[in-house]
Structure 1
């Protein structure tokens, strides 16, 4: 049986979860429709999701249509949980982007559509809520063509929109206007179709157009638009038919080497780890030992697959399927299964979180429980970037926004019994090197107390390159274990630059390396005092690296968002001073009918304040869209962040902490 792994995506409150519920009902999987308001939907299983009426974690359900198993993945719509959407994108064969017929195209709708297009994921668009007062499907269709993509074609029309009697009628495949529009859209990619149409319009039949539409939709070049209501069911049957006709089913070789990816991790009733994985090629069986990182492997103890709205045990899972796996105790979100992925790991489709806050337990006795609970939450959402400050006994997490913070607080209290408070949310800055700097410490020469020679040079790297480590010595001149210890420690140390922010866009080169070979007494007992170990290089690397970084110098950069702001024309003048007060810089403004479209840049830390002020400034008519764009040097005094380790910038305290002694001379440079 063919499989279609389908994502449902939308701006919050567009009706995405209600549509999922309606699809399950129409497919005969459930007998009674659940309600988001009542907290009874199949995919919103968290208590907090039911209480708030929003999706926080992605959920998978399954149904069968015309011999195709559809694994439907319901994703969060709120921008604070965009990381959850990101993890799903890599496992999709196609997507349905839901747009409200009342609110139309919204900020998150644009972000999602741009990302889907960039990744080449086939997309159907569903205009939902046509039965709601104020619904205007024709206006929304024009918005979609203007703000999302012009490569759209309506598959029907809505009769009596904005009323409970709204119904969706399929377009007449022989309608000359529809045929001309469709040919015009498809001909950009199909010369044969255009030639046939020009020669004889009657030769281009409705069936041929439908086949061409399916082909170009599957290649993510055009996007059919459906309309309907998840609440009444209007138009949903046409959408279901479109899923299997217009979107490509999974294509994978079950006999090829195993290749898959883990996109979600959760805990079972007994605290066991359950990994959600998409299998691209090969077959995975119970009791198979599977690699899931370059340095990790484990035996799969149980498998379950999604069928008919439920989850059933299975002895194996093949190419194209999504499964839940047990036994992979150390697995993490983003891990590959079997062969490494085709594209490099760590690539983000959306911007990283740019906010941070310290989490503190309300009860001092809960400190250990808080760390354990946050560690489990970090398994589910690695981008919260759990950071523990052992010196101050504090734990910090990264955030996308204030709603995410509220959800973390409620989750810790409700699911883990740990009430917490948060410190003020701050912006996460980064540091980049200003120039080049080098340092070296020699084995057996004061003030180096460690049995190793390390020389390092740090210099600026290309923008968005992260941290690159290079060898400037011969590969065989030192044991690989020592080289690995140096590289790992370099990357760990650069999580804090001279002012405590993570270093990015730099190149670190190992220029000198030396060690003492393993020594033993005449009776064969290992003499640690005369033999280098990996620990020597792990302890020495931070001192040398930070000395080199001090010579290079760093500059603190703050995250900057690109924003698009739609405001009524008569309020444009009142909005500009507010933008200036928040540090926003308008770059362009365009009159669009009765509104102004303002585009520009704003510091990430001011976006939330702008969102809060916008409704009162614009009579509730303003629409803000923002996303991370780049890092900009901080203007004015550079902010710092307290270090959370034994500070290698303070040699005396560092050596007292890691070597229990201090040497007094100055190292050779």
Structure 2
């Protein structure tokens, strides 16, 4: 069975989580689609996500469709949490880029598409909210072409085979000779020569089946790292066990085997908040390893040797000094360093005076979320001062 790791990317309020819910509903993972405004979505389960109505942490769900096994990663849409999304990109075989028909291409949309292009990740565009009054698909297609600088956005609701073939003389000849095939379309999408565009309403389930069918038909396993396996993120379980989230690209990883020289005691595959334990992960699989303490996000195994992969394309924009009346600076620094391992968006250091504890982050919303997480996890109140734009 073909295995595809699929990411859903979008700017805030484009309908990314609504699309995720409808996909999971149609693939019988959930009994009914959740709603962001009802705070009952399958993947946005963290209290801060439900309070703010946004995705803060990348999470995964699993489903099958038309004989393809999918791992769906719902990523943060707000720019303050871009680094979490950025790390997830390296695990993707394909990405759905959601664009709101009523708002069009936004600055963050351009950033997301550019990131996918740099990593050669095949992109499938879904224009959401086509049921809104005054929306014209032709205008949005023009916006996509010009704002994202895509030479060949292909409207998948039309007779699209000819549109795909025009990317080169070789494909035109094959089309005219009747030899142009679905495999050629898959090659063109994989090579980034054209971008398929679907349209509909995620809330009403319009265009979702067509999108899923296209993904099952044309998506392929994809890797740019050349690694055997990559560490995507570090996370704590509900009982505070350290978990290493990995994607296996070659070979396998097994319980009681070693990863970075440390024994694996358990492997979990999550589907929302639920998980099942498995004995091994094979090529194309993602999962959480319990036991290893050494791996960090951005590490990998390449040809059996420990290595690094990927370079961050995002830089912090705000620097602040952090204190807490609930603990001393030594313990505060320890807590921050512990949390930094799990949070790619957080950079912790000592100030130039060697006294202040300084954190660099992607924005003010991240600071608010960090306050809430430290209150919940470490039972201390953070205080910020000396805020500086970098």
Query: Same fold by TM (over 0.5)?
Result: yes
Contact 1:358-1:394 at 8 Å conserved across structures? yes
CA deviation string 1:562-586 (max 9, x = no partner): xxxxxxxxxxxxxxxxxxxxxxxxx
Task: Please list, as runs of the form range in 1=range in 2, the aligned pairs for 1:280-299 lying within 5 A after superposition.
Answer: 280-291=249-260, 297-299=261-263
Task: State whether structure 2 residue 160 is matched by structure 1 residue 181.
Answer: no
How far apart are the structure 1 equivalents of 2:270 and 2:46? 19
- Alignment correspondent of 1:30: 30
CA deviation string 1:396-435 (max 9, x = no partner): 111111111121122222333211221132144xxxxxxx
- Calculate the aligned-residue CA RMSD, in Å: 2.6
Contact 1:2-1:250 at 8 Å conserved across structures? no
Distance 1:414 1:344, change over 3 A: closer
Task: State whether structure 2 residue 174 is matched by structure 1 residue 217.
Answer: no
Distance 1:251 1:86, change over 3 A: closer
How far apart are the structure 1 equivalents of 2:116 and 2:152? 14
CA deviation string 1:83-142 (max 9, x = no partner): 011101111111111100110100011111112112111110000111234433321111
- Choose the corresponding residue for 1:360, options 316, 320, 323: 323
Contact 1:61-1:309 at 8 Å conserved across structures? no
With the length of structure 1 as denominator, give the TM-score of the two structures: 0.55
- Alignment correspondent of 2:152: 151
**Number of corresponding residues:** 388
CA deviation string 1:241-276 (max 9, x = no partner): 011111113589xxxx98211111111133210111
Report how far residue 204 of structure 1 moved: 3.1
Q: Which SS does the other structure have where 1:403 is aligned?
A: helix
| Higher relative contact order (Cα pairs below 8 Å, separated by 6+ residues) | 2
Contact 1:260-1:281 at 8 Å conserved across structures? yes
How far apart are the structure 2 equivalents of 1:390 and 1:268? 35
Task: Please list, as runs of the form range in 1=range in 2, the aligned pairs for 1:110-509 lying within 5 A after superposition.
Answer: 110-148=110-148, 149-156=150-157, 171=158, 173=159, 180-184=162-166, 186=167, 188=168, 191=170, 193-197=171-175, 201=176, 203-204=177-178, 208-249=180-221, 259-291=228-260, 297-306=261-270, 310-337=274-301, 339=303, 345=309, 347-348=311-312, 350-361=313-324, 363-365=325-327, 367=329, 370-388=332-350, 393-428=355-390
With the length of structure 2 as denominator, give the TM-score of the two structures: 0.92
Report how far residue 308 of structure 1 moved: 9.8
Contact 2:318-2:361 at 8 Å conserved across structures? yes
How far apart are the structure 2 equivalents of 1:132 and 1:416? 45
Contact 1:275-1:331 at 8 Å conserved across structures? yes
How far apart are the structure 2 equivalents of 1:91 and 1:246? 18
Q: Which piece of structure 1 moves more, 49-58 or 375-384?
A: 375-384
CA deviation string 1:324-381 (max 9, x = no partner): 1100123321121464689964622x232142111111x2536455334322321122
CA deviation string 1:587-618 (max 9, x = no partner): xxxxxxxxxxxxxxxxxxxxxxxxxxxxxxxx
List runs of 5+ in structure 1 lacking aligned partners. Answer: 157-170, 292-296, 429-669
Q: Which SS does the other structure have where 1:407 is aligned?
A: helix
Q: Which piece of structure 1 moves more, 409-418 or 147-156?
A: 409-418
Report how far residue 219 of structure 1 moved: 2.1
How far apart are the structure 2 equivalents of 1:94 and 1:404? 27
Task: State whether structure 2 residue 106 is matched by structure 1 residue 106.
Answer: yes
Distance 1:346 1:383, change over 3 A: farther
Q: Which SS does the other structure have where 2:386 is aligned?
A: coil
Distance 1:309 1:394, change over 3 A: closer
List runs of 5+ in structure 2 lacking aligned partners. Answer: none
Contact 1:355-1:399 at 8 Å conserved across structures? yes
Q: Which SS does the other structure have where 1:281 is aligned?
A: coil
Max radius of gyration: which structure?
1
